[in-house]
Structure 1
Amino acid sequence: MPDAADHANSTRQRALGAFYGLALGDALGMPTQSLSRAQIVETFGEITTLVDARADQPIAPDMPAGSITDDTEQAMLVADLLIEGRGSIAPLDFARRLIAWEDDMRTRGSLDLLGPSTKRALERITEGIAPEEAGRFGATNGAAMRITPVGIAFDVRAPELFLAAVQAASSVTHNTGLGIASAAAVAATISAGLNGASLSEAIQVGIDFAERGGACGHWFAGARIAPRIGWARRLLEETSDAEAITYLNDLVGTSVLAQESVVAAFALAEHAGDDPERALCLAASLGGDTDTIAAILGAMLGACLGLNALPSNLIAQVQQVNRLEFEPTIDALLALREGA
């Protein structure tokens, strides 16, 4: 039987897989974000590796291959807040850090700024509206895209504590059933993966917590996250990759809405999760919010399969281009998990 040291090493490798998988998916989707499927096919054919963004990329013009975007940077921001707060995130501190992050992005000349729900919530906070009310219209994927650190720092086997942590990291900007459900689904899948669950088992845990998260926050009109994940999983059963891309574009959707992009990430995990590189390249080839879909997918696959299951050459390129070193952050997040 594996001893405690083996278990700790496995958990660390899965946690590293989650964060580096997030960054890899983000970088693969960077050059195709906001493009249509037809534009991607015309420009790149299919995404099979990290590629440069073209000069006419609407959000990330001329960014070099392997560059990360807001998905990874905001996840790093959440990780820093969790570590500084010893597992807690103060809503106003979170808001201030997001505003400062966007100001820094503008200074760098980046067009990769805050998403619509986050931007609206922060504007409401600066107008004096209470944080618990500011995010009552947030139903996009912003909370889900940056929730990976919560899945690492909190164990889904302590469900009340876990869901409270998801809410704390989501509600300032996405205080709706849809926003919290999508973040809970992603975080729970990651947390279950760290505990040693298989990908299929972890996805089911994610669906269960999407149900719980859907009962939190303000009501917002839209199809519920948990049933849509279950439906999308069945939709892609025994389909080819080409059929999967067509179904995801035509039936599921790939926009910033949580019930589209987050569900698409889960569907691809079911369809091709046994081959992470293939799955992430499919996500980057979809069209729409490709960087976020691929980032969420990469975090879930990395957590369930471990860092060694990800393509090491592509991970190394992303590390080098962005000067990433996640190991100290991961160790601090795992210390929070152990303490909790």
Structure 2
Amino acid sequence: MAPSPPQTGQRARGALLGLALGDALGMPTQGLPFEEVRARYGPLLTQLHPAPADHEIAAGLPAGRVTDDTDQALLLARLLLAGHGEVDQHRLAADLLAWEDAMRAAGSLDLLGPSTRRALDAVAAGAPVGTSGRWGDTDGAAMRIAPFGIAHPLGQLGAFVQGVHRAGRVTHDTGIAVAGAAAVAAAVSAAVDGADLAEATDLAIEAAHLGATLGHHVGGADVAARIGWALDVVAEHRLDGGLELVDELVGTGVATQEAVPAAFAVLALTPDDPWLTVRAAASLGGDSDTIAAMAGAIAGALHGADAFPADATRQLLAANPALADPGTGLTALADDLLALRLGGTAR
């Protein structure tokens, strides 16, 4: 007998849990070439691993530790709750800078990405929000947007995409970045409402088309077209060969037009198993923590939190006690975001 579909709360919790698990799985493989990941861990990660001692960014981090992807997504979640669905861009800039200061004080090298760093330097120099994100085209907006998809139903897709744009324009105010973030947010939102993968992906592509018309223009491939093309690239392929094609053709770099299509390609290769989705995405190397976080958020929203192995969830929460906090952790934030979506009141 097929399992019953997950309830809405399970899907909302699954989105944040999948994001964090994908991020933690990708922590030790981020920045590594695809073939080196295979040499170190085999063709597919099977569990959470500590960072290698020689890792340029994550050396010393234990198995299960999350990175900036989860930290910034939860930061955005809290701002969405504080703003009743909107994100104060000045507070976002201040909170991101405070987060980086805390990471640096802790000795972490996992700091702000290139678009965010450049934008916040501009803000510090007095640039207004409308210009600070002028060149932000990398995947930082897409990596942290999943909470927006939990908090907002799709409704009118154009209005939804405009909300995605407003949520991150201080750092990523380009059509490419908005398109990527809109695709991820739309897929999460559709999945929270009970869409299947095909329906969520179609809405993601439509959202990416709309997102490309917002923000400033920068040169680069069309994100919506690249998602559709990435799906064609991996169609008819088994997982192993499909991941090779993602690495060779789609790309796994920090460019939005690589990382976001890569996440959707991995979802297409692993449609029925969210734990396989995050393990496969983390096995890519490159910007694997972000790709796995985005794919994990969508897969978790599709299948629900209970679809992930309980032992992996326990290991994740043990390595990141703040995520288990009953008032401010993953479950609490997911429930509050869902209450916001449903028009209720967060705790």
Q: Normalization by structure 1: what TM-score? A: 0.95
Cα distance between partner residues in 2 of 1:231 and 1:124: 35
Q: How many angstroms apart in 1 are the aligned matches of 2:151 and 2:291?
A: 22
In structure 1, give the amino acid aligned to 2:162. Answer: A
Alignment partner, residue 42 of structure 2: 45
Amino-acid identity (%): 48
Q: What corresponds to 2:153 in structure 1?
A: 155
Deviation at 1:45, TM superposition (A): 2.1
Query: Take 1:226 and 1:305, find their aligned partners in 2: how far apart are those partners?
Result: 24
Distance 1:230 1:158 in 2: 22
Q: Which runs of 5+ in 1 are unaligned?
A: 1-5
- Deviation of 1:165 (Å): 2.1
Q: 1:339 aligned to 2:336?
A: no
Which residue does the alignment assign to 1:85? Answer: 83
CA distance in 1, matches of 2:39, 2:232: 30
Letter in 1 for 2:63: A
Q: 1:167 aligns with which of 159, 165, 168?
A: 165
CA deviations 1:39-60 (Å, max 9, x no partner) are 2122222311111111111111
Unaligned stretches of 5+ in structure 2?
325-329
Number of matched pairs: 334
Residue deviations 1:290-315 (CA, integer Å, cap 9, x gap): 10000000000011111122222211
Partner of 1:30: 27
Q: Does 1:217 align with 2:215?
A: yes
2:331 aligns with: 327
8 Å Cα contact 2:30-2:288 kept in structure 1: yes
Q: How far apart in 2 are the matches of 1:257 and 1:247?
A: 17
Match of 2:99 in 1: 101
- Specify the alignment match of 2:110 in structure 1: 112
Deviation (angstroms), 1:161 = 3.7
The whole-number CA distance in structure 2 between the counterparts of 1:301 and 1:260 is 19
Query: Is the 8 Å Cα contact of residues 89 and 168 (structure 2) preserved in structure 1?
Result: no
Deviating more after overlay: 32-41 vs 251-260: 32-41
SS of the residue 2:136 aligns to: coil
Q: What residue identity is the alignment partner of 1:18?
A: A
Q: Which moved more, 1:230-239 or 1:305-314?
A: 305-314
TM normalised by structure 2 equals 0.93
- 1:235 is aligned with what amino acid? V
Distance 1:280 1:136 in 2: 32
Whether the 8 Å contact between 2:243 and 2:266 is mirrored in structure 1 is no
Paired residue type of 1:334: L
> 1:245 & 1:130 partners in 2: Cα distance?
41
Q: Which structure shows the bigger proportion of residues in helix conformation?
A: 1
Of 108-117 and 162-171, more deviation after overlay is shown by 162-171
Inter-partner Cα distance in structure 1 for 2:205 and 2:340:
24
Deviation at 1:320, TM superposition (A): 1.6
Task: Give me the whole-angstrom Cα distance separating, in 1, the residues matched to 2:64 and 2:213.
Answer: 38
- Detail structure 1 runs of 4+ shifted over 3 Å in the superposition: none
**CA deviation after TM superposition for structure 1 residue 160, in Å:** 4.0
C-alpha distance in structure 1 between counterparts of 2:267 and 2:297, whole Å: 11
RMSD after superposition: 1.5
Separation in structure 2 between the aligned mates of residue 328 and residue 32 of structure 1, nearest angstrom: 29
DSSP 3-state at the match of 1:187 = helix
Distance in 1 separating the partners of 2:236 and 2:158: 36
Corresponding residue for 1:269? Answer: 267
Equivalent residue, structure 2, for 1:60: 58
1:5-54 deviation line (CA, Å, top 9, x unaligned): x99x8111000000000000001101000011122122222311111111
Does the 8 Å CA contact 1:154/1:165 hold for their aligned counterparts?
Answer: no
Measure the CA separation in 2 of the matches of 1:207 and 1:311.
30
